[in-house]
């Protein structure tokens, strides 16, 4: 069985990706299975750049097809911030709670209709010879005034999906894994992986 390496150590992200890829006949591993691989600095100017860098560096080390994602939140009122710095919005060692607190502070007093945001995801697929393809997904939403729900991770408790009137964290993984930015990008990545295997 072919091995696909997911270039992440984030357990919640890994579980989400595994769930979406479960119908492909591959053995999924991650960076937790390769502790010797050092942390990869995400210093690109775009989600595509960061995902590509991670996928290529890991694939070169492990000699297996590797997929890496970079994703984040772009808020219209903040001119697209936090963007590629979503996980480091409040500082390089910031916790997610600190990132959320900063986002809410910057949007303090902004009415709901101006809190439009988009979750974006880039997934890069590489093998030991280099980059194969980058695919993308996006999901529009609104930033709430407070955190709601306990499922998901990152900005999920703030990100309201207008059709449902609930945050990703309230909707839970079954719905999120059908409509999210990462689900869309992974659906496209799946087709590439199927061709490769």
Quote the pLDDT of residue 21: 84
- Phi/psi of residue 9, nearest 5 degrees: -115, 0
* Long-range pairs for 96-103: beta carbons < 8 A, 24 or more residues apart: 96/153, 96/154, 96/155, 99/155, 100/147, 100/155, 100/157, 100/158, 103/73, 103/75, 103/143, 103/155, 103/158
- How many angstroms from the chain centroid is the CA of residue 137? 10
pLDDT at 18 (0 to 100): 87
The strand pairing partners of 117, in sequence order, are 75, 141
Averaged pLDDT, groups of 10, the chain, 197 residues long? 90 84 89 92 93 96 94 97 95 93 97 97 94 96 96 92 95 88 92 87
Report pLDDT digits (tens) over 89-121: 999 889 999 999 999 999 999 999 999 999 999
For residue 177, what pLDDT is reported?
A: 85
What are the catalytic residues?
A: 70
Which phi and psi (to 5°) does residue 167 adopt? -80, 160
Which residues, other chains included, contact 156 with Cβ-Cβ below 8 Å and sequence gap of 6+? 149, 167, 168, 169, 176
The pTM of the full predicted model, rounded to 2 decimals, is 0.90
Burial of 13 (0-12, 13-18, 19+ CB in 10 A): middle
pLDDT, position 122: 97
According to DSSP, the β-strands at 116-127 and 65-75 are antiparallel
Among 70, 55, 50, 73, which residue's Cα sits nearest to residue 4? 55
Tell me which H or E stretch contains 188: helix 181-196
**Residue 173: per-residue pLDDT:** 81
Q: Can you list the domains of the chain with their CATH numbers?
A: 3-196 (3.90.950.10)
């Amino acid at each position: 069985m072919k091995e696909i390496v997911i270039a992440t150590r984030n357990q919640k992200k890994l579980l989400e990706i595994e769930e979406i890829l479960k119908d492909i006949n591959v053995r999924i591993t991650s960076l937790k299975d390769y502790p010797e691989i050092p942390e990869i600095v995400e210093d690109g100017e775009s989600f595509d750049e960061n995902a590509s860098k991670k996928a290529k560096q890991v694939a070169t080390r492990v000699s297996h097809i590797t997929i890496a994602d970079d994703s984040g939140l772009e808020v219209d009122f903040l001119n697209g911030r936090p963007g590629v710095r979503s996980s480091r919005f409040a500082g390089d060692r910031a916790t997610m709670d600190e990132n959320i607190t900063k986002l809410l502070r910057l949007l303090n007093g902004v009415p709901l209709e101006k809190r439009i945001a988009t979750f974006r995801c880039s997934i890069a697929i590489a093998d030991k010879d280099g980059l194969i393809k980058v695919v993308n997904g996006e999901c529009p939403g609104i930033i709430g005034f407070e955190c709601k729900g306990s499922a998901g991770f990152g900005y999920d408790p703030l990100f309201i999906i207008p059709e449902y009137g609930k945050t990703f964290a309230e909707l839970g993984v079954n719905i999120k894994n059908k409509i999210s930015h990462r689900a869309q990008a992974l659906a496209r990545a799946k087709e590439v992986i199927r061709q490769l295997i």
